[in-house]
Structure 1
Amino acid sequence: MSTPKRVIHVISHTHWDREWYMPYEAHHVKLIQTMDVLLDTFESDPDFRSFYLDGQTIVLEDYLQVYPEKRELLQRLCKEEKISAGPWYVLQDEFLTSSEANVRNLQIGHRDAAGFGPVSKLGYFPDSFGNMGQAPQLLKQAGINNAVFGRGVKATGFNNQVGEDSNLESPFSELMWESPDGSRVLGILFANWYNNGMEIPVDPAEAKLYWDHRIDSANRYASTQHLLLMNGCDHQPVQTNLSEALRVARELYPEHEFIHSNFDDYINDVFASLPPKLSVTRGELRGQKTDGWFSLVNTASARVPIKQLNQRNQTLLEKIAEPLATFASGEGKPYPHALLQYSWKTLMQNHPHDSICGCSVDEVYREMEIRFAKSMEVAKAIVQESAKYLSDRVDTSGFEELSRDATPFVVFNSSGYEGSSVVTVEVEWSRRYFKQSENPVQVAEEVRLRTHADGFLVNHLGARIDFVAEDLGVRFGYDLPDDKFRQPYMARALKLTFETGELPAMGYATFAWIPDATRARGQDRDSGNSLIVGPSALENAYLRVTVEQDGGIAVLDKASGQLFEGMGHYENVGDIGNEYIFRQPDGDLPITTRGNPALVRIVEDTPSRATIEIVQSMEIPLSADELLEREVRTMVSILERKSGRSKSLVTLSLVTRISLERLGRSVRVQVSFDNPAQDHRIRVLYPTGVQASTHFADSIFEVAERQNVPSAEWRNPSYCHHMQAFVDVHEDGRGLTVAGKGLNEYEVLQDGNNTIAVTLLRSVGELGDWGVFPTPEAQCLGRHFGEWTIVPHGGHDRIAAYREAHRFAVPVTPCQTGLHAGTLPPRYEFIRWDGDGVLFSSLKTNEQRGDWMARWYNVTGASSVIRLHTANVAEAYLSNILEDETSIEYEAISRATVTASEAKSSKVTPIGAYEILTVGLKK
């Protein structure tokens, strides 16, 4: 039998990092030049068949910012399939952007691409710093049957044999990639990177040397006769003489076929030629069977403040703005699709891997902060308008029986999980609007004289509840009516802190402040309700927290009877690495707060919450020693650096606040500190005392199980990992979950205690990679703040701990309203659901149909069911991540308000092991 003819598929492309070693606009100028040359090449060379635009539609958007008149030309080239469009909006970092951000990226990429021509159905991950385990399921739901990626798997070459049980390797560049739920796509690894066909020579002698090497390298890994040569690289200009270079190659190698190809043709040819059996790689691709130095996981801790802004922005959009706008749409308010898309796009412009990973020059992050601010301002406006629209339709007339001066407000919970929260709400009453001709000072005095700050707080049933009040006096405010000019006013204001009690998972409860001059502020408080049980101890029905003399904490989980001790100490080590890679100096020993006396004092003691403040200090080196600057300047590899830490010391003082709420099942922690040093890392340590070989981390639509001990190939002393919200270590009877806000890097230490170490700050002074790019602002000098929660559990109840971790990240939304009748009751749930092993992801409104789209995912290996109870919905159907109306499988759902006694009106849908399930709800 003759050997099949090798087919060399040359695909022209440029990998476009939107911002990286230069600021965005500097890269933007280069993009315009590159696109201009590309369009000229298409015009002048009919044999130049196609160009792959890096799988991201933002490249087209950025070009049209400068040349809006060229849209029709780009549309024609896309329809002729000379230029690709999509499937993504940006090439994101998968692990540092949320589950829903990954989905919105695919949704918006498809939507924008469809405006140009066919949507590229290529699962393109050329330079993601590791790949999410659920990518095959997401791609399959989007109608994509393949994934092309550059990292996370180490191909071993054609002559090596790797068994099917090998979790992270393949003998070929082609493999089957499987999600935890069993979804499979054809995976193609850039075994020779995505530049293995760049700058092809035209000179025959040079071409012969070039092709001998490139064909041999590609053939070493290929499982078929179809070899992939990627003609481009990072910001690579178009090779305008490619047609001539391929003509020379055909003359030199008549036994091969050279095609100026595209991904569609290449993928189809590979599918048609695959061997009977390929290795199967399951779950996350994170380079765990490499030496570990260049997995780039430490980008999860580069520029932590950027990660914190990202977490806040994502949460505001997907867990507050979208659900509240959806609730409001059910009551007749138009859903703000365009504004939400604008806000999402502005956020996602910060999501390319070199942006959100923190591995770019300082100018990039100054612009990113502006984008975060712009996105969040739009999202906040949507939240305020939606909450006001809903609040104005809540029946608050019952409070008038208590007082005609009652000031109602509504507290919305859109986290997807029911629970109690301690909230702080500012309320205003006795507003006095004034005209420009009036004297504001006199108006303010008028309000002051006729008002007071005494009274009591009631819930939706009229029952009085404990609170703490702070009189804010008379202050200025304004309304912006839809039908008239702005309306300034003066009003009395009060800040109330209280416990909401159990709020519906996706709903609200109503409260009211009742002014009453006969009752002093806080009079309803029962002094016997304090959670303080000692000079440094807190206790509620579920937990007992004790602060030790050195500032460590001990937590007793009453349900499991497990005691966790010595937790919450801080660790400091040197870092002579860069924005990509942490590197501790040789011989450097950790400096910790353990054993050092701490200042401990009670700073809050209310019926709903108590807080202990802990002040700890460490003397740490000012920076690395002088050698590091010379090593950076001369590009000494981080693996070969000999620099150590400075002998000069500075004081690092950390102020930690430990809070316990009356109904809380977790311990809330906040830390603030002023970073005085460079070239170092700060972590907080939580010994778990759990004897387990694996742990679990919140990731993209899964809680990924990971090994505590790295593979035999691992050489990096550090074994850090990504997390979204939390990391969990458990065994039967004992478990600990630590959940942070925008803290994306952790390590489970091999210290016999499976200590969870969460990175709070990493300070470095250079970008790294291919050149010398100083990044002094990446040293992160100055004020910092961190927030996380500790959830002890018994192992068997870990799902409840995960739900608590997710709820922790989503603040409730208060909104003041007036006394009025309404179509909505004082307490209400728009959607109620339950399902064993299931976590909630999102609720939004579909743009084309106006249907509500709700999503959950199963984090266990067992099938489950979701029981859904909702009102204002006529019928429901199963969908996918692109929100297609795939199949009608639910019966009609009652429009009546659903209560617990009406559970028979709920509908049940199965959800498979590790499945991502989207349900469409028709109004």
Structure 2
Amino acid sequence: MTKQQQTAHIISHTHWDREWYLPYERHHIRLIQLVDTLLDTLEQNPDFRSFFFDGQTIIIEDYLQVRPENRERLVRHIREGRIFIGPWYILQDAFLTSPEANVRNLQLGHQDAAVYGEVSKIGYFPDTFGLTGQIPQLMQQAGITNAFFGRGVKPTGFNNMVSDDGYESSFSELVWEGPDGSQVLGILFANWYSNGNEVPVEIEEARRFWERKLGDARQYAATDQLLFMNGCDHQPLQTDLPEAIRTAEKLHPEVAFVHSNFPDYIKAVEASLAGRSLSTVKGELRSQRTDGWGTLVNTASARVYLKQLNQRGQAMLEKVAEPLAVIAKLHGGEYPHHLLDYAWKTLLQNHPHDSICGCSVDEVHREMVTRFDKSYHTAEGIVADSMQAITAAVDTSGFAAYGEEAVPFVVTNTSGWSRTGTVTIELDAARQYLRDGLPLDENARRMKAVDLAGRVLVDEQGQPIPCTVEDLGLSFGYDLPDDRFRQPYSCRRVRLTFEAADVPALGLRTYAWVRPVGANAAEGAAAGSAPAANLQALASVPASLVRGGRVLENDTLRVEVMADGSFTLEHKPSGKIYRDLGVYENTGDIGNEYMYRAPAGEVPLTTLGLNADIAVSEDTPYRASIEITHEWEIPASADDLLEEEQRALVYYPERQAKRSADTVTLKLRTVLRLERSGKGLEVKSFISNTAKDHRLRMLFPADLAAASHRVDSMFELAERPNEPAPEWQNPSNAQHQQCFVDVAGENAGLTVANLGLHEYEILRDGRSTIAVTLLRSVGEMGDWGWFPTPEAQCLGEQTADMLLLPHSGDAVTSGAAAAAYQFQIPWTCAQAEVHAGTIPAVYAAVRWSGGTAAFSSMKLNKECGDVMLRWFNLTEQPCELELESVLPVAAVYTSNVLEAEGEELQPEVTASLKLPLGGHQISTVGLRLR
């Protein structure tokens, strides 16, 4: 490489965290000022050529919300190629957002960019806290052949010599390969995305600037194309950049200084790389080959309540609202694209890394809770409307034989697998509308007089099902018709809990609460208010899953609780017994919202050996629960030195603070719940947090010989080593997970699924213990200054939900992975009326099988109305999908994450369609309906 060949590409941008160390609106004001200045500069100075809008289209929304009068000016510059927009709606955290949330983010970014101009095909991840392994495939499917990022790989800069060394890259330019083999050109911001920030105009200052900056860029560059990013976090526009470039040209005539853009830079790099090779980095980029102190991994456990709200919101949208809206649309309802877009955008506004990671000031996260609620309530409305259309179309006429008192209802399973589990629904046994004109006291009297005795729950075949009935008494309700004013009523409400068996995937099963007729009526009368009237039919049902005061057992599992609240879990098919499960571990935390740091030399506290109160809290034929209560004295907080060190900006690995000698009582209530047909044990923890500056985990020793484990990530079951790399110095090796983590040996394994608990660690304790973080309490934001965050201590009531799934073999073929995915998805139920309908009492819109495939989503394409289905292969081995549908399908075609129409697979689905699925492949299929 000669100096005359070098080009310095200077790209103007600003990295726009919508909210972070200031509340959203404070940053919003600065954004308005920035874009105002940008528009004026573009119009007044033709030498200021272009600006990159940080890869996210929400900047346009935020600006035009306040400056709608400038829309035409903004659009003109976008269409002239001077402002580059997209491809994302927001810049999200990759590990804490679901696979489908990442896809919707891309879809909405492309959709919104198309309104204004051309979308930038730039895989932009400037400050993402590590990157998931499937991003290369995601980018390729979106027509993006590159990825620009700032974290996850450490460049070695070996004097322009290519070498491959694990997760290291010789240069800032590299080949990034996903687990399926997809490759993109990776560009690491080796000198950060601000290495060309505030370029001096004055010649002496510029001389010093460029001498340093050119040297830094050359150290890691594989080509003669040097990248300089002119901007930083919330950076105001450098309006005199053209003049600064002219100064640079005078100082370094051997370098071509260009006010550039990403497309031009990529073309130049690709041309310079012709005939050359680069280091290939494979899979996840998590800074594995570093000292472990700068990975920001513990943002996975900062403000856990945010992650839990996010999991609830994502599941409600992608796994409930969208598939139910598809079924409703197919049977006379509506598919509300506009409402789904609104709900998704509101949710995605919580997905930037400084938001969902919980590493901002308290005001930011208060506003996030409101956004989570807004998105969730919108999804609830979509679900309610869809269920109304579905229940109106389901054929419940078979229950007419039970008379006018029959109360039918529909249970839907919107997961990708057939499902059996415990369901709870509230029903109105009778209603009296206020429009009928009766006095209110007479309304109330009639509802109180409704006889509930002798009723029984039956399925669509009339078979009685054990259930628990709670009389909720007199209640109030209302209808909101589309064509009339609201219709209030008084009602007699009951709550039914029972086991719904074999509800089809992406389908439903119909039940009814009825008063038996004929012989059953006499039995019902004899049984009094017992909900199971047909006692003979139910004689084979076990009376209880409780075996003594501390043992739960079904056909697959046996659970025994010890005096200290820990428990053993026997998996009968494999014969494996797991011991010492459910122990709580507590340590101090003198870190911040970004990183966990235990006080030096601290020995963790545990509940092992701490007596607990233990009692059976639920005992029914279909489900039983044991409740464990601990009252645990732990340090109240860190000592006073911590605040001194925080104010002095002492780097957290170097802090000397300890835990306080004062103690508080930490009350822990743990509920172990086993279902009759359950393959796993539910563990629900209720935490009354009274302490500060600490971390609480639950421990699950697997006692299996394994050098690695598998963990659910974005469209991938990633394999990670149990031992960190030699460079790793951090005593903690905590890592990210999505839905579950699995440790497996030769013949047995343990999967721990979670709801919004994204941090785990495989302990190096000789037992392959899976430690799941339930709560982390800290008092400062961290990063570049002192920002107190008292609400990040998470005082008060907290909860945590997990599912333990012991299995034979691996998590995929044993079905543990599918069960862990189902654990994320709530059942959806709705009351119906007795009538004929077009949907049979047991129904599935689509049936599929596919070995190692996992189902991801069912939705409608916004442009053409086709049904879009997505799967991904959990293993590296190819498999075959087999697809059947009762829908009026005209054609089936392959697609991608942007739902573009690809190859037509079969003109019509007559019996079944077989589709090969490569190892780790993400596969989207479109169904065009007649």
Give the structure-2-normalised TM-score.
0.97
Residues 451 and 492, structure 1, Cα contact 8 Å, conserved in 2:
no
The match for 2:682 is 668
Which residues of 2 match residues 531-680 of structure 1 at below 5 A? 531-680=545-694
Match for 1:908 among 911, 914, 917? 914
Worse overlay, 454-463 or 336-345: 454-463
Structure 1 position 436, deviation (Å):
9.2
The Cα of 1:167 is off from its aligned counterpart by 2.8
Q: Give structure 1 stretches of 5+ with no counterpart.
A: 895-904
* Alpha-carbon distance in structure 1 between the residues aligned to 2:884 and 2:691: 54
Q: Counterparts of 2:289 and 2:631 in 1: how far apart (Å)?
A: 39
Give the equivalent residue in structure 1 for 2:73: 73
Identify unmatched segments of 5+ residues in structure 2.
Answer: 517-523
The SS at the match of 1:533 is coil
Q: Distance in 2 between matches of 1:140 and 1:188?
A: 15
Which of 809, 813, 830 aligns to 1:815? It is 830
Between stretches 799-808 and 222-231, larger displacement belongs to 799-808
Please give the alpha-carbon distance, in whole angstroms, between the structure 2 residues aligned to 1:909 and 1:332: 30
Aligned residue among 888, 892, 897 for 1:876: 892
Partner of 2:530: 521
CA distance in 2, matches of 1:695, 1:279: 26
Post-superposition Cα deviations, 1:696-742, rounded to whole Å, max 9, x if no partner, equal: 11000001100111101111100010000100000210100000000
- Determine the C-alpha separation between the residues in 2 that align with 1:2 and 1:750: 50
Q: What's 1:789 paired with?
A: 803
Q: Which amino acid aligns with 1:187?
A: G
Equivalent residues of 2:162, 2:277 under 8 A apart: no
Is 2:779 aligned against 1:780? no
What SS class does the counterpart of residue 111 from structure 2 fall into? helix
Paired residue type of 1:521: A
The residue number in structure 2 matching 1:232 is: 231
Counterpart in the other structure of 2:151: 151
SS at match of 1:429: strand
How far apart in 1 are the matches of 2:811 and 2:687? 34
Stretch moving more, 527-536 or 69-78: 527-536
CA distance in 2, matches of 1:215, 1:654: 57
- Check the 8 A contact 1:735/1:798 in 2, yes or no: no
Alpha-carbon displacement from aligned partner over 1:482-525 (angstroms, at most 9, x marks no partner): 11111111111111010001110110000000146724233446
Q: 1:638 to 1:57 in 2, by over 3 A?
A: same
Matches within 5 A, 1:225-624: 225-274=224-273, 276-435=276-435, 438-515=438-515, 518=525, 519-524=528-533, 528-624=542-638
Residue 57 of structure 1 corresponds to 57
Of residues 763, 767, 771 in structure 2, which corresponds to 1:749? 763
Give SS of 1:87's match.
coil
Moved more, 520-529 or 675-684: 520-529
Distance 2:3 2:44 in 1: 37
Give how far 1:160 is off. Answer: 7.0
Distance 1:355 1:523 in 2: 49
The alpha-carbon deviation at position 618 of structure 1 amounts to 2.1
Residue by residue over 1:263-290, the C-alpha shift from the partner in whole angstroms, topping out at 9 and shown as x without a partner, is 0000111011115111100110000001
CA contact (8 A) 1:680 1:763 kept: yes
Q: Residues 363-385 of structure 1: CA distance to partner in whole angstroms, max 9, x if unpaired?
A: 00110000000001100000011
1:900 counterpart residue number: none
Taking only the aligned residue pairs, the percentage that are identical comes to 54
Q: State the alpha-carbon separation in 1 of the partners of residues 449 and 83 from structure 2.
A: 71
Deviation string 1:81-131 (CA, Å, 9 cap, x unpaired) is 110110000000010000000000000000001111110000000000000
Residues 805 and 3 from structure 1, CA distance in 2 versus in 1: closer, same or farther, beyond 3 angstroms?
Answer: same
SS of the residue 2:449 aligns to: helix
What letter corresponds to residue 913 of structure 2 in structure 1?
A: K
Q: Distance in 2 between matches of 1:648 and 1:302?
A: 24
Q: Contact between 1:168 and 1:281, CA under 8 Å: does it hold in 2?
A: yes
Cα deviations across residues 657-686 of structure 1 (Å, max 9, x unaligned)?
101100100001111011000000000000
Structure 1 pair 660/162, CA: closer, same or farther in 2 (3 Å)?
farther
The amino acid that maps onto 2:381 is: A
CA 1:480–1:186 in 2, change beyond 3 Å: closer, same or farther? same
3-state SS of paired residue (1:76): helix
What does the per-residue CA deviation read over 1:542-577, in whole Å, with 9 as the maximum and x for residues that have no partner? 111111121111111111111111101000000000
Change (3 A) 1:683 1:205: same
State the SS of the aligned residue for 2:139. helix
SS where residue 181 of structure 1 aligns?
coil
| Matches of 1:270 and 1:689, distance apart in 2 | 50
Q: Name the structure 2 match of 1:897.
A: none
Q: C-alpha distance in 2, partners of 1:71/1:431?
A: 53
- Residues 891 and 928, structure 2, Cα contact 8 Å, conserved in 1: yes
What displacement does 1:438 show? 4.7
Corresponding letter in the other structure for 1:850: G
- Specify the alignment match of 2:901 in structure 1: 885
Aligned to 2:519: none
Q: How many residue pairs were aligned?
A: 912
- Partner in structure 1 of residue 221 of structure 2: 222
1:154-211 C-alpha deviation (Å, 9 max, x unpaired)? 00114275633x3311110000000000000000000000000000001101101100
Q: Which amino acid aligns with 2:703?
A: G
Is 1:917 the counterpart of 2:902? The answer is no
Aligned 8 A contact 1:4 1:225 in 2: no
For residues 58 and 436 of structure 1, the distance between their equivalents in structure 2, rounded to whole angstroms, comes to 50
Contact (CA 8 Å) 1:123, 1:144: kept in 2 or not?
Answer: yes
Shift of 1:338: 0.4
Which deviates more from structure 2 when the two are superposed, residues 313-322 or residues 532-541? 532-541
CA contact (8 A) 2:173 2:185 kept: yes
The separation in 2 between residues aligned to 1:158 and 1:234, in whole angstroms, is: 30
On the 8 A contact 2:332/2:389 being kept in 1, the answer is no
Query: Separation in 1 of the partners of 2:532 and 2:580?
Result: 39
Question: 3-state DSSP class of the match of 2:140?
Answer: helix
> Does the CA contact (< 8 Å) of 1:592 and 1:618 recur in 2?
no
Counterpart check, 1:204 vs 2:218: no
Aligned to 2:520: none
Do the aligned residues in 2 keep the contact of 1:158 with 1:222 (CA within 8 Å)? no
Give the CA deviation at 1:4.
5.0
Q: Is the 8 A contact 2:196 2:228 kept in 1?
A: yes
Amino acid in structure 2 at the alignment position of 1:211: W
| Cα separation, 2, equivalents of 1:881 and 1:608 | 41
CA distance in structure 2 between the partners assigned to 1:49 and 1:218 by the alignment: 23
Looking at structure 2, the residues matched to 12 and 863 of structure 1 have their Cα atoms a distance apart, in angstroms, of 44
C-alpha contact (below 8 Å) 2:105/2:348 kept by paired residues:
yes
State the alpha-carbon separation in 2 of the partners of residues 549 and 369 from structure 1: 39
2:865 maps to amino acid: G
| 1:434, distance to aligned residue in structure 2 (A) | 1.1
Residue 732 (str. 1) matches residue 746 (str. 2): yes
Residues 790-827 of structure 1: per-residue CA shift (max 9 Å, x gap): 00011245441000000011111001010001111111
Q: CA deviation at 1:322?
A: 0.3
One-letter code aligned to 1:842 = S
Whether 1:692 aligns to 2:701 is no
Could you tell which deviates more after superposition, 632-641 or 353-362? 632-641
**2:194 alignment partner in structure 1:** 195
Match of 1:827 in 2: 842
Cα distance in structure 2, aligned partners of 1:615 and 1:450: 40
Amino acid at match of 1:540: N
Distance in 2, matches of 1:760 and 1:162, equals 43
Question: Is the 2:96–2:356 contact (alpha carbons within 8 Å) kept by the matching residues of 1?
Answer: yes
Q: For residue 247 of structure 2, give the secondary structure of its aligned residue in structure 1.
A: helix
For residue 336 of structure 1, report the CA deviation from its aligned partner: 0.3
Aligned to 1:33: 33
Computed over aligned residues only, the root mean square deviation of the Cα atoms, in angstroms, reads 1.3
Q: For residue 445 of structure 1, give the secondary structure of its aligned residue in structure 2.
A: helix
Give the Cα separation in 2 of the matches to 1:243 and 1:72.
Answer: 25
Counterpart in 2 of 1:720?
A: 734
Equivalents in 2 of 1:12, 1:56: separation in Å?
15
